[in-house]
Chains A and B, each alone.
Chain A
Amino acid sequence: MGFYLYCVGPPGLSPPDVPGLEDAPLLLVTADALEACVSALGDRPAPTVERVRRHHRVVRAATSERLTPLPARFGQWFPSREALAARLLEGGDGYRRALENVRGALEFGVRLRASSPSLADTPSPRAAAPIGSAVPPVTGEGAGRAYMMALARRRDAERERRERAVRTLEPLRSRLRPLARAERLEEPSRRAVDEETVAAVAHLVPRAQISRYREEVLRFAAARPELRVELDGPSPPYSFAG
């Protein structure tokens, strides 16, 4: 029986009273003054929405008002307790530095949605040049070239819209940076599942600044009603755990 990892914390982390993957109870594996919250699991889990949700639920439950563990990326399975302990020992100093960085802080995310009118001046790239429909199903000479040109136009339109969205968010980011311990501008490439988000930024916000952080986002959204701004958080600091 192996072990599936949810998060890594300092001494004092306790396994939350929620079920892990496959409803297994949560346990702690301790090594080098680090605590890993795990549950027994027979094999490496395939990613599904339900398992991702369950993983997140455990990490949330382990994140208390007094302790912020490092959320683990989904999918980390170890064949034995010893194998996990060895990895904790191997990277112990780095994990402790990361724990110190997130100590007393949580993650917030701000997203700018594509349907914001000021971003809609440029037609949606997908609507402007969707693969398979922007180029008529022609055959013969020049068809391949036309298809590649349509793809290039679509790529250019996406880049232009993203750059405009990042510029639009900049005034808000400049207000939020003093309230945050760290900032991470999202890269669009891995957010393919969320096409409507054209710019997103994550902040690591100390608990004491959470109210002011929210107020700044709300103030910005109120001042720019033409934009669709979304805020999520506080959540465990996934974006700042590595």
Chain B
Amino acid sequence: MTMDALAPHSVEPQEPVGPAPQEDMPLAVLLSRVLDRGVVLTGDVVIGVAGVDLLYLGLDLVLASVESLGERGARPLPSRRPGG
């Protein structure tokens, strides 16, 4: 065995190869993850997405007001109020 054979093929740190994300999670889960989780670099993110609280308080109504209802994917979520 030569020294060349022992030499690493790369000195770059590499991550394990495996499946890349390919899921399609339910909308409610997606909203929870993307709006409530994730790294925060700017301290005013809460102010910046103050509308998020409105999303949680009355998601179906707020979304109806800011999205085109005819747009695919803008289906109202189950109402949080009886009969609402």
Q: Which residues of A contact B (CB under 8 A)?
A: 5, 7-8, 12, 36, 44, 46-50, 52-53, 55-56, 60, 63-68, 70-78, 84, 87-88, 91, 95, 98, 103-104, 106-107, 109, 111, 126, 130-133, 186, 190-197, 206-208, 210, 230, 232-236, 238-239, 241-242
Contacts and interface: CB of A to CB of B under 8 A. Distances in A.
Interface in B33-84: 33-42, 45, 48-49, 51-52, 55-57, 59, 63, 66-67, 71, 73-74, 77-78, 80-82
Given A76-B45, A132-B81, A66 B34 contact: no
A238 B17 contact: no
Given A72-B39, A130-B82, A195-B80, 8 more contacts: A56-B30, A64-B20, A72-B38, A73-B40, A190-B32, A192-B80, A193-B80, A235-B25
A193 B33 CA distance: 12
B75 to A, nearest CB: 9
A193 B52 contact: no
Contacts of B48: 44, 75-77
Q: Dominant SS at the A interface? A: mixed
B2 interface: no
Given A47-B51, A75-B48, A193-B56, A55 B18 contact: no
Nearest to B82: A130
Contacts of B78: 195-196
Interface residues of B, number: 49
Interface of B: 12, 14-23, 25-42, 45, 48-49, 51-52, 55-57, 59, 63, 66-67, 71, 73-74, 77-78, 80-82
Contacts of A230: 26
B37 A241 contact: yes
A50 B71 contact: yes
Nearest to A86: B41
B77 A193 contact: yes
Given A130-B82, A207-B16, A95 B39 contact: yes
A7 B20 CA distance: 16
A133 B82 contact: yes
